[in-house]
Amino acid sequence: MHSYPAPALARVEEMVAAAAQDPARAVSFQGAPGCNGHRAALECDPNCLPLPCFSFEDALDAVKEGRAARAIIPIENSQHGRVADIHFLLPESGLSIVGEHFLAIHHDLMALSDGPFAAAYSHPQALGQSRHFLRARGIVPMAYADTAGAAAYVAEMGDPRACAIAPRIAAELYGLKIVAENVEDAADNTTRFVVLSRQPLDPASLAGRSAMTTFVFEVKNVPAALYKAMGGFATNGVNMTKLESYQKGASFSATTFYADIVGAPGDPAVDRALEELAFHCKELRMLGTYPMERQRG
């Protein structure tokens, strides 16, 4: 399915038309109006024109094709880890990370009735973040493309035994009642989003500001290659705040790593660390240097 439920479709068409009139202000996001990506876009830039897209690929394509100046994409959640497929999509997109945003996540259970409920629809991340709540009540989690889209789907179905887990605004948009508030399993539930653009930021423009740099790399297939590649960050005092691995292709012989560091190219310590990393790599691709929104460490 590559379309929105009927209750969301009219709002999507209105927002798409508005963004088409002024693409320079448009920020694409994945999901239906009212989802957390929509919230993140408005928090990041209250004057933007949010552009809903059905999939992450669609949101990235909107920027590549000039229908939006930026995309805002969730990359990891404090409870449920990294968002599926993002580590593949970002390098393949050809876009650059130009910002980050941390969004406090609060989920509500919403429906047409007060229950009891047989199934809860939402994005897999939201279902995972609320799994204890659902399990304790015997509600079966059902994956949907996004949180607000799930709310629109429940409204469209008209089934009193179906509910959705979504931001509060989705209930207002699609005529559902809030049955339970803050059903996430952790009160400090937070999702980190990244902002992407066709043009990277010049690291020199961030002089005097705290910055993050994100890159992906594949080390040479020799013993201790990763250990040696990481040594430059330790000896130069560069803080690596994130290092994740994922398989590239079906051979399981080449592992790609995704990393965030504090600092920017142009800083001598960062340059030395990246130079040493490159020496031990088959591939090193910079995804962007951007202002740090939240201090690490």
Residues serving a catalytic function are 191, 193
Tokens 């929104």 locate to 293
Q: Where are the beta strands (DSSP E) in the chain?
A: 26-30, 49-53, 70-77, 81-82, 96-104, 108-111, 119-122, 140-143, 162-166, 177-180, 190-197, 211-219, 240-247, 255-262, 281-291
Sheet containing 211-219: which strands, arranged edge to edge?
A: 240-247, 255-262, 211-219, 281-291
- Residues 295, 86: Cα–Cα separation, whole Å: 23
Burial environment of residue 37 by CB neighbours within 10 A (0 to 12, 13 to 18, 19 or more)? buried
